[in-house]
Structure 1
Amino acid sequence: MFRDALFSTLLSLFTCYVLSLLFLNLSFFNPIAKALKDFSFLDVYYAEKLSETKKIDSSIVLINVEHKDRMAIALALEEVLKADPKVVGFDIILKEPKGIKADTILADLLNKENVVLSHTTDNEENIIANYPFFAPLEHSGYVNFNFEEDNSVIREFNGLYYNKGLEMESFGYKIAKRYMPKKQWEANNIKDKLRSPRVINYKGDLHKFINFTIDEFMTLSNKSLLKDKIVLIGYLGTPTANINDVEDKHFTPLNTITSGKSIPDMYGVAIHANIISMIIENTFMYRISTFWIVVFTFLCSLIVSIYFIWLSKRLKISYRTVRKLMLLVFTILLVWLTLWLFKKGVVLKSAPIIFVTVFSAGFIKFYKHLIRYIKTKRKFKTYMK
């Protein structure tokens, strides 16, 4: 029985592999392949608010520039720096000069030691940065979240990126490094943790952080609340959190629509705030590697094959009903385990495990037909008839 189960499992896994190649390489299947790639139970976990917390992160303050001109932004930045924040992240790229007075003020403010600017890069190693007049490139961090162009949902981010042999730091990495005491940074081993892509442990959207528009901040009587905090200046919609404003907005696992068409749900600045919060609080999520997912998938498929081959010999009439029921129970239990692990900070990609295991269970029927055909040609020892 074990021999039959092993052969059936190996053949089913090989068939899955061939089918996956077809999905990836035939343009006809591109929409289906993309939809499957974009799906994750992590999205269900966040969308159903299974991780929701009412606590607001008071260590990070967001300021929405809306569509203010450079002079208004410069005056707001000046007031922010007067309030003595620990770090200021400037998530705006000033590609070219516009006005001498405003640009001169901005250049002076953006070169302050506690200000981190932003730039973008890509897989072709092209860099879009601030005009050199404002600040040198080394004062900025890249605002790309990851470099997987096919991933439309921002679940992970790259803290470090290598461009032409040069180690580049992300916007969030640079800000968190300046904010955290050196001993804490080294004790938490942050740099090593961020050498590879990390799953973002989202707290929530911009409402999970203190946030103001420029006008609200400028009329604030007590600006000292910014002292020793992280302040992120960028675009958060006009007006703030405008659901139909998709400028610098991205899809995240928090999107309430987990399948089908929807609009982006979170502004880039808010995503950076979640990343920075995760780094400084050391609440990283551990992702189970592809190797262990493959091992777990093989074991589940093998065990299921052994069980159903044995069951098919014991049950004649009710076998199909029992098989479907057992696969449903298996799927529910694995989804529950996945969501429970998410809550504990462990990311298990269970969708491929479920798909391949269910496929292996159904493949037993085809294996039986294959064995019958082989037995007409030669002797073959088998548990199955």
Structure 2
Amino acid sequence: MTKKKKQGGSIWLDSIFATAFIYLFMYLISNISAFKIFDAFDSIGQALEDMEMTDIAFSQLRDPLPPDTSIVLVNMGPLGRGQIAQQLQIIDKYDPKVIGIDSFFKGYGPSNDTLGSIFLADVLTNIKSDLVMVAMVQQSDSLKALHEGDEMYDILYTSDSMYTKKAHHAIANLETEAEYQDDIKICRQFPPQRDILGTDLKPIAFAAKMAEVFDPTSVEPLLERGNEFEIINYRGDFVNFFEEDKFATRFYALDWDQVLNEDFVPGLLKDKIVILGFMGEYFGAPEWEDRFYTPLNSKIAGRANPDMFGPVIHANIVSMILNRDYVDRLGETTENIIGLILCYFNVVLFSFIYMRMGAWYDGATKLIQVVEVLVILFLIIYLFSWISFKLELTVGLFAIALAGDLLEIYYGVIRNMVLKVADRLTSKRKKVVEEGT
């Protein structure tokens, strides 16, 4: 009985050290460049690195919602500034509540279209509807040298003042991990608000400003959440009769020629949010400019083509804000603590199996790991699908997957080495004491 108590006590303590060893091993694997050579052979990992388990909930488990009739998308396509001005005149004639323009206008344009630019500036100045135009927060070279990679900005980039006399400015930055324009751009979240250093400016997101103008009570709940980034609760794409996609039913959209020809039901735009931006040369064209990968992509791993234009992403964010339909999650620290606790209790269980059921160890631990990982993944996916709660336990799942094999290394190598060194030190200490007496 005494022996079992002593052994049990050592298992709990050894489990702490073994858990620390597992996390140290993961740190070395993920941070030491010598280990990164194996990434070249990890074709599966490279295919899956841009997906999250909640993508399954977005793309396969959730049913498409009916169209959000408060928002209408308009494609500016290949039009020059004069024709965009004509689009705006026609749109404004049908009395939308808000017009949001997802495009920058600098100078007289790349083709030096002076007349078209003057016409556009005049239309934007005299438009009746509330106008929201995009801006971007940027870092100056001096700030970038000091804080590159940090969420600190000292420049608000906007269209030229001749176009923005009546406009609200709002930031259109969409968060991706792409470093360059040609990189794969996966958009999962957006910043609700940003401070501009050295100024009193606190511009909110482009979608948030459109929602605020449309419904002044809608944005306060977003800002009260206090999140640096909000996960976009995607609901769908625009109605596109050229593609078969169950999610292409969320937002009504007009192509550039439909607007210029006024080929739409007059009541479609009245009192609505109209978002004007580039969505291809025409609907259905194979265009990748200003197009992003999103969790609604039908191919959740090894994605072939980006699936959503920037204006449609903004429409999803507007819809989320107006419906107060946010994605909640735990803090990163809390998630890591949960992962650590799960790993520790797995190590305790595996230690008992190792000590008392040695012959069963490999089979029993592998079975437990497979079942546990599947249960946790099921919980993650369905929590997100049912109540829009995102639980991120990637580090903890990785630790659980490694626990069985690394625990054998701990008991077979690390622990024995430590005990051997400790015995030697104890023997030397005893010898010194005996010689001193």
Give the structure-2-normalised TM-score: 0.78
Q: Which amino acid aligns with 1:232?
A: I
Contact 1:66 1:235 in 2 (8 A): yes
Aligned to 2:73: 62
Aligned to 2:369: 327
224-233 or 134-143, which moves further after superposition? 134-143
Deviation, structure 1 residue 232 = 0.4
Say which of 277, 286, 304 aligns to 1:262: 304
Matching of residue 85 in structure 1 with residue 127 in structure 2: no
Matching of residue 357 in structure 1 with residue 389 in structure 2: no
Distance in 2 between the 1:34 and 1:154 partners?
A: 18
Say which of 402, 411, 422 aligns to 1:368: 411
Q: Which amino acid aligns with 1:374?
A: V
CA deviation map 1:103-149 (0-9, x unaligned): 33322332346011113333445554323221159732221112754
35-44 or 279-288, which moves further after superposition? 35-44
Change (3 A) 1:305 1:371: same
Distance in 1 between the 2:204 and 2:195 partners?
A: 9
Say which of 235, 251, 266 aligns to 1:203: 235
CA deviation map 1:125-179 (0-9, x unaligned): 5554323221159732221112754583111101111222432222112111111
Distance in 2 between the 1:83 and 1:303 partners?
A: 63
Matching of residue 39 in structure 1 with residue 51 in structure 2: yes
Q: Which amino acid aligns with 2:282?
A: P
Change (3 A) 1:149 1:161: farther
Deviation, structure 1 residue 26 = 7.8
Q: Which amino acid aligns with 2:235?
A: K
Aligned to 2:85: 74
Alignment of 1:291-302 (within 5 A): 291-302=333-344
Q: Alignment partner of 1:378: what SS?
A: helix
Change (3 A) 1:185 1:54: closer
Aligned to 2:119: 105
Change (3 A) 1:194 1:250: farther
Deviation, structure 1 residue 311 = 1.5
Say which of 348, 364, 369 aligns to 1:306: 348
Distance in 2 between the 1:278 and 1:104 partners?
A: 36
Matching of residue 115 in structure 1 with residue 115 in structure 2: no
10-19 or 168-177, which moves further after superposition? 10-19
Aligned to 2:214: 179
Aligned to 1:274: 316
Q: Which amino acid aligns with 2:16?
A: L
7-16 or 331-340, which moves further after superposition? 7-16
Distance in 1 between the 2:90 and 2:422 partners?
A: 86
Q: Which amino acid aligns with 1:42?
A: T
270-279 or 35-44, which moves further after superposition? 35-44
Say which of 320, 334, 338 aligns to 2:380: 338
Q: Which amino acid aligns with 1:39?
A: M
Contact 1:41 1:351 in 2 (8 A): no
Contact 1:110 1:117 in 2 (8 A): no
Mark the runs of 5 or more structure 1 residues left unpaired by the alignment. 381-385
Change (3 A) 1:63 1:170: same
Distance in 1 between the 2:121 and 2:291 partners?
A: 27
Aligned to 1:236: 279
Matching of residue 20 in structure 1 with residue 30 in structure 2: yes
Contact 2:366 2:404 in 1 (8 A): no
Change (3 A) 1:29 1:180: farther
Q: Which amino acid aligns with 1:191?
A: L
Say which of 377, 380, 383 aligns to 2:421: 377
Contact 2:293 2:308 in 1 (8 A): yes
Distance in 2 between the 1:353 and 1:123 partners?
A: 35
Change (3 A) 1:69 1:138: closer
Q: Alignment partner of 1:133: what SS?
A: helix
118-127 or 212-221, which moves further after superposition? 118-127
Aligned to 1:169: 204
Structure showing greater radius of gyration is 2
CA deviation map 1:199-233 (0-9, x unaligned): 00000122320011122233335322211111001
Q: Which amino acid aligns with 2:324?
A: N
Give the structure-1-normalised TM-score: 0.88
Identity of aligned residues (%): 25
Matching of residue 159 in structure 1 with residue 203 in structure 2: no
Aligned to 1:383: none
Mark the runs of 5 or more structure 2 residues left unpaired by the alignment. 1-10, 141-152, 240-249, 425-437
Deviation, structure 1 residue 191 = 2.1
Distance in 2 between the 1:301 and 1:319 partners?
A: 17
Contact 2:102 2:276 in 1 (8 A): yes
Q: Which amino acid aligns with 1:8?
A: A
Alignment of 1:136-151 (within 5 A): 136=165, 139-146=168-175, 148-149=177-178
Distance in 1 between the 2:159 and 2:70 partners?
A: 27
Q: Which amino acid aligns with 2:422?
A: R
Q: How much is the aligned-residue C-alpha RMSD, in angstroms?
A: 2.6
CA deviation map 1:261-292 (0-9, x unaligned): 52221100000000111011110101221111
